[in-house]
Amino acid sequence: MKKSIFTPIFLLFFLFFSTCKTEIEPLSIGFPEPTDPNPVPVETWNKITPGLHGSFGSIDERYNRSTPPKISISKTWEGTAWRGERTNAQLA
């Protein structure tokens, strides 16, 4: 009687532990950053004073990520729109 109960219990434990993962899968966030096709010399970035810089930029202009933007620093943004219309702003 003990042998007939022991065998199914052993098989259930074996099945349970054989399906458990022993390794943790690495969490992938995002994608690898591609290399810049048009690299900019480091001297361009050395001309910028250290610290955090930010300003509101025009939504009609595209700012390249590898070069510092040539815009004047603006701490405020004003926009007008109709009621229910979406407004846009771009931080550079």
Per-residue pLDDT of the chain (92 residues; tens, 9 = 90+): 556 777 888 888 777 777 777 777 777 777 888 888 888 888 888 888 888 888 888 888 888 888 888 888 888 888 888 999 988 888 88
Q: Are 72 and 43 in contact (CB under 8 A)?
A: no
Cα-trace Rg, the chain: 30
Angle at alpha carbon of residue 47, lines to 43 and 53, rounded to 5°: 125
pLDDT of residue 92: 82
Nearest to 36 by CA among 27, 48, 44: 44
Give kind and range of the element (H or E) at residue 5: helix 2-19
